[in-house]
Amino acid sequence: MQLNQMLLNVNWVSYGVIEESGQKYASVQTLTDFVEHEGRCGCSVGKMDIVTIDNFAVAKRMYGEIQRAKGPVSLIVEVGSAVKKGNVTSAIKDFKLANQPQAKSA
């Protein structure tokens, strides 16, 4: 199965377990592209789920990157299908830093 890649500027990441239900959650918040249309102008906050497998491994790595940067980070995320409350949704399955230098080939 092929995953889709996209560039995201991530401003916020959160993960954990809802006490009342025991449900795991993990998500990021990002700003949408600039929009100017009939009384609306600017960037909205968008939210995207992160897979919760392996004890929130992806969310914890992302949390560490934002913590080190002390602010938003640009990431190339791999997005795939996930099931949430019985519905198929999109979720971040992995990522890498967008501005990370590539290794030189020999």
> pLDDT for 33-68, tens place per residue?
899 989 999 989 999 999 999 999 999 999 999 999
Q: Where do the domains of the chain lie, and which CATH numbers do they carry?
A: 4-97 (2.40.50)
Could you identify the residue written with the tokens 């249309």?
37
pLDDT in tens, 14-36: 999 999 999 999 999 998 889 99
Q: For residue 63, what is the enclosing H or E element? A: helix 53-69
Arithmetic mean of pLDDT, 82-87: 81
Is 22 buried (19+), middle (13-18) or exposed (0-12) by CB count in 10 A? exposed
Closest CA to 94 of 106, 81, 78: 78
pLDDT at 84 over 90: no
Would you state the structure tokens that stand for residue 99, as one six-digit string? 């501005």
Its pTM stands at: 0.82
73, 61 Cβ separation under 8 angstroms: no
pLDDT at 105 over 80: no
pLDDT at 5: 92
Please, which pLDDT band fits residue 71 given cuts at 50, 70 and 90? very high
Say how many residues make up the chain: 106
